[in-house]
Amino acid sequence: MSLKSERRGIHVDQSELLCKKGCGYYGNPAWQGFCSKCWREEYHKARQKQIQEDWELAERLQREEEEAFASSQSSQGAQSLTFSKFEEKKTNEKTRKVTTVKKFFSASSRVGSKKEIQEAKAPSPSINRQTSIETDRVSKEFIEFLKTFHKTGQEIYKQTKMFLETMHYKRELSIEEQSECTQDFYQSVAERMQTRGKVPPEKVEKIMDQIEKYIMTRLYKYVFCPETTDDEKKDLAIQKRIRALHWVTPQMLCVPVNEEIPEVSDMVVKAITDIIEMDSKRVPRDKLACITRCSQHIFNAIKITKNEPASADDFLPTLIYIVLKGNPPRLQSNIQYITRFCNPSRLMTGEDGYYFTNLCCAVAFIEKLDAQSLNLSQEDFDGYMSGQTSPRKQEPESWAPDACLGVKQMYKNLDLLSQLNERQERIMNEAKKLEKDLIDWTDGVAKEVQDIVEKYPLEIKPTAQPLAAIDSENVENDKLPPPLQPQVYAG
Amino acid sequence: MAQADGVPLPDAAPSCVSKLVLLGSGSVGKSSLVLRYVKGDFKSVLPTVGCAFFTKVVAVGNVALKLEIWDTAGQEKYHSVCHLYFRGAQVAMLVYDVTRKESFLRAQQWLEDLEKELQPGEIVVALVGNKTDLEEKRQEGKEFAESRGLLFMETSARLNHQVSEIFSAVAQELLQRDMARLGSSPLGNSGAMRLNQAPTRRTKCCSH
């Protein structure tokens, strides 16, 4: 027996090592005897099934609930008095149940995967642990994309997986080190593709874009605005700064854009939307694309206004104006993130890189902005910054045309409000006066009465005779005729 | 190396992108210059939406070089932030207006900024005096360029005078430096070599 077990320990049958699916690759007990690829497929299938089942369960529960509700409603219809209370309870119960069902479903992918892990007792690769729907979609697309490159694609996939694995363990490192790792990875993959895979340069670029998309959707959560840096503080600082500069007009920046033209103000709005949208993207390249779109809208706006294509002399001030007007969220974090994790070739060269550099310039300018750069005197600038004076109050006709309808309405309303305020104050004053008058009047009356009372004190003279002598002393009685005597008439 | 063999580089050439930054005061004609060069016109038609970023493939001998031209805002107030444009640039073109002395002084200031930001020899610098159609050529630009080892040319974007010449001179210089780097990279004094090369190139392009 010992011999047998020993043999067993050394010798393993070839068939046991191979993937259970028979694809020819070696399997791994950790993946239930499948090879990595088949395991992923199996795992994915099981998960899809789980999701499907969850969905069905959720639907069934809801349906049953609704049916129960409908039947209870018809049977309880007669007893309307008690019913209303019952209905309330019922709907409460129902909404609660539905939300829990919904919650259950929305989290099902995660719950499902966790359950999966527990049941199978085979941990999936650590990087798969936390996946969202978007991440899943991106990985699927990435794999599909790499399939077109056959062997090179497989190689790339392996490398990216390995990179993600190593990044997982480097999470504790400083963000600069993580950024360096990523940049090194970009470089080594691109080089490998060119030298080993003999991939033509334009394809390398495409593949690099896909790789960036794949890894950055996964890493975003950990490397965007990390706690170890002061990115957030900088975000807040620039946001506060832009808010403090709300009074800057296009005229001060010499922006060659006339927002009175509807198409131009349209473009301005679009540009602002794009720059704000940047924050919602995960992949650095998508963020860059937002900046580029924003820039193109700016160029359009200038072109419509000036009727000639814009040069950089026009573009930068307009971009600054757009940033001031839009106050994009987490601006510094986004810039830092792009600088750290974007493929460097995209940042140094190319149109995207150009616009990104312009955005950096705009932000740097806003940080340094002073009275001189707006052609203002220091007192004016300080006054505007502290909010004591506003450039709009002094020259109302300069803001009126470029202010949008809502703002105009707001100013009108403000005017009205101040008028009302004035009137109310007047009313209050008058009311107070009236109150005072009334008090004075009552006081006066009281005083007068007092005076008179004092002057003519009321003296009640005691009555001379006692009350009992009233009848006896009545002298008037003599003048009264004698009482009537009853007389009898013979009829 | 490749040029020495006389073999053209069909594949490698387009992938080699060089970034060129245009620097200069406002309204010295930076945009006109590049417009003239890229589109071959002087504000007669309106080709694109924006005129701030251009790419152009230049042929130098049998090598094609892709130039990426970055226009910058020339207003004085943006001077302090413009160093951000320098990063990764291989060429800087300092443009001034021959009729305005202060624009020439500004160009010198740009040069100082460049030298502060970048290693000597890391970037090809060309001094360009524009608007020669408005005034007789001046001598001071050339002298200054010679003393600092810059490429120099006086141009007129309006008359299309020397416009493409300055760009191809720059491209040629770039290529030469690449050759020098590839060929004699172990040499420690490569920076000095490049400085020595500049005058020979310049005499050649000015003789066009």
Helices A312-326 + A262-277 axis angle, to 10: 70
Tens of pLDDT, residue by residue over A238-291, are 999 999 998 888 888 889 888 888 899 999 999 999 999 999 999 999 999 999
Question: Which pLDDT belongs to residue A53?
Answer: 80
Structure tokens at A82: 């008690």
Question: Which pLDDT belongs to residue A192?
Answer: 87
Residue scoring higher pLDDT (A272 or A123): A272
Question: Which pLDDT belongs to residue A87?
Answer: 45
Question: Region A87-110: what's the mean pLDDT?
Answer: 44
Backbone dihedral angles phi then psi of residue A136, each to the nearest 5 degrees: -60, -45
- A interface test, pick of B25, B31, B84 with most A CB neighbours within 10 Å: B84
| pLDDT under 70: residue ranges of chain B | 1-15, 40-50, 136-139, 183-208
CA-CA distance, B179 to B194, in Å (whole number)? 11
- B interface test, pick of A198, A253, A267, A316 with most B CB neighbours within 10 Å: A316
CA-CA distance, A216 to B139, in Å (whole number)? 55
Tens of pLDDT, residue by residue over A308-345, are 778 888 899 999 999 999 999 999 999 999 999 998 88
> Using a CB-CB distance cutoff of 8 angstroms, which residues of chain B are in contact with residue A263?
none
CA–chain centroid gap for A87, Å, is 36
Taking one residue from A and the other from B, the number of pairs with CB-CB distance under 8 angstroms is 92
Residue type, A96: R
Q: Which CATH architecture has domain B7-181?
A: 3-Layer(aba) Sandwich (3.40)
The length of chain A in residues reads 491
- pLDDT above 90 coverage of chain A, percent: 33
Strand ordering across the sheet containing B91-97: B53-60, B63-71, B17-24, B91-97, B124-130, B151-154
Judged against a pLDDT cut of 90, whether residue A470 lies above it is answered with no
Question: Which pLDDT belongs to residue A60?
Answer: 79
Question: Region A154-160: what's the mean pLDDT?
Answer: 88
Domain positions in chain B: 7-181
CA-CA distance, B137 to B130, in Å (whole number)? 10
Residue scoring higher pLDDT (A80 or A401): A401
Q: Judge residue A195's burial from the number of C-beta atoms within 10 Å of its C-beta, 0-12 exposed, 13-18 middle, 19 or more buried.
A: exposed
Residue scoring higher pLDDT (A429 or A474): A429
Query: How far are the Cα atoms of A9, A11, A12, B57 from residue A2, in angstroms, in the given order?
Result: 10, 14, 16, 77
Task: Express the helix, strand and coil content of chain B in percent, nearest 5 each.
Answer: 45, 25, 35
> Using a CB-CB distance cutoff of 8 angstroms, which residues of chain B are in contact with residue A308?
43, 46
Give B28's contacts (C-beta < 8 A, 6+ positions apart): B74, B95, B96, B97, B100, B103, B130, B131
Cβ contacts of A206-211, under 8 Å, gap ≥ 24:
A207/A145, A207/A146, A207/A149, A207/A156, A208/A343, A208/A345, A209/A285, A209/A343, A210/A141, A210/A142, A210/A145, A210/A146, A211/A142, A211/A156, A211/A160, A211/A186
Rg (CA), chain B: 17
Q: Give CA angle at A99 (A93, A101), nearest 5°.
A: 100
Q: How many CB atoms lie within 10 A of CB A81?
A: 7
Mean pLDDT for chain A? Answer: 79
The nearest CA of chain B is from the CA of A210 a distance in Å of: 19
B interface with A, Cβ–Cβ below 8 Å: 11, 14-15, 17, 19, 22, 26-27, 30-31, 43, 46-53, 68, 70-75, 77-78, 80-82, 84-85, 87-88
Structure tokens at B52: 């701030």
User: Of A255, A248, A413, nearest to A325 (Cα)?
Assistant: A248
Question: Which pLDDT belongs to residue A101?
Answer: 45
Are A330 and B71 in contact by the 8 Å Cβ rule? The answer is no
Roughly how many angstroms between the first and final C-alpha of chain B, as a whole number?
A: 26
The nearest CA of chain A is from the CA of B90 a distance in Å of: 11
| DSSP 8-class letter at A246 | T
Structure tokens at B47: 């080709």
User: Cβ contact (<8 Å) for B81 and A365?
Assistant: yes
Structure tokens at A292: 């580029």
CA-CA distance, B145 to B151, in Å (whole number)? 7
Are A126 and A165 in contact by the 8 Å Cβ rule? The answer is yes
Question: Which pLDDT belongs to residue A427?
Answer: 96
Among the partner residues B31, B74, B81, nearest to A361 by beta-carbon distance = B81
